[in-house]
Structure 1
Amino acid sequence: MQTASTNIGERMGRSQELSDSKRGPVIGGHLGNKSIRDISWLLNIPRSTVSGIITKWEQLGTTATQPPSGRPRHMTERGQRMLKRTVRRSRQLSAESIAKDLQTWCGLQMSTTTVCRELHGMGFHGRAAASKPSITKCNTKRWM
């Protein structure tokens, strides 16, 4: 019988994908009439993950990961890097001119709305600085 480590730091994180080499023993344990709790303890995997793997295997007959659902993103990582580089060079450009620049340089066809959405996602926002009074010697005397 295997022993599981009790160190919580060695457990699987929330965002990690479970490898196929760990999915097989989960199904093997299920076919061997082991409880979800025992399988979880033996393989050091959360019970919810074990339960999900078993449910998926019973419903679909496979343990392979499914492709992500939904529409794929319009802009790739390379396009995002190009967009960020373009904006950092000149922050005064409009979304229309940025879209035209990306079309001529990279061949990326995208609307100005897509450019604005991607820039907002990267943390760039079209905000102007507040106007501040000019602080001169005359103004400082007046304020005092």
Structure 2
Amino acid sequence: MGRKAVSIDTKKGIILLRDTRMFQHEISKKLNVSRHGVRQTIRKFNRLHTTSTKPGAGRHSKVTRRQKRASKLQQLRDDTLSLNDLVRYVQTSLNLNISRQTVSRVLHEFGLVSYVSPRKPKITHQQRCYRLFWSWDLVFYYVQ
């Protein structure tokens, strides 16, 4: 089972109960929060004197916004680039080692998709009809 975040109101309740000299295990039973959560909330309150969540928490992104824009611009310049080509571009130009999945995620943030577009044009309806007539003529030629 994963961890669930303790709400701000619950954290305030933990601090108020601690000020009334209640033990940590009693607080955890009363508020239905783990002992570790109570201990962590009290320790954080003693250090920062606040119960609010600190901004910027979490893992930092390996790719900066500028690098994301550069890879997007490269994709817009040449839409026939594959993900491997974009990864190679990022490694050489931006000096950054990231995976294909990361490049795909960056492009998806901008609403772009990297796929190799076909180099030859698709056949038209008239060309398809000509091919069918030619193939049927060939079939009837070998039947006779």
TM category (shorter chain) comes to 0.3 to 0.5
- Larger Cα Rg: Structure 1 or Structure 2? 2
Point out the structure with the larger helix share.
2
Query: What's the TM-score once normalised by structure 1's chain length?
Result: 0.47
Query: What's the TM-score once normalised by structure 2's chain length?
Result: 0.47
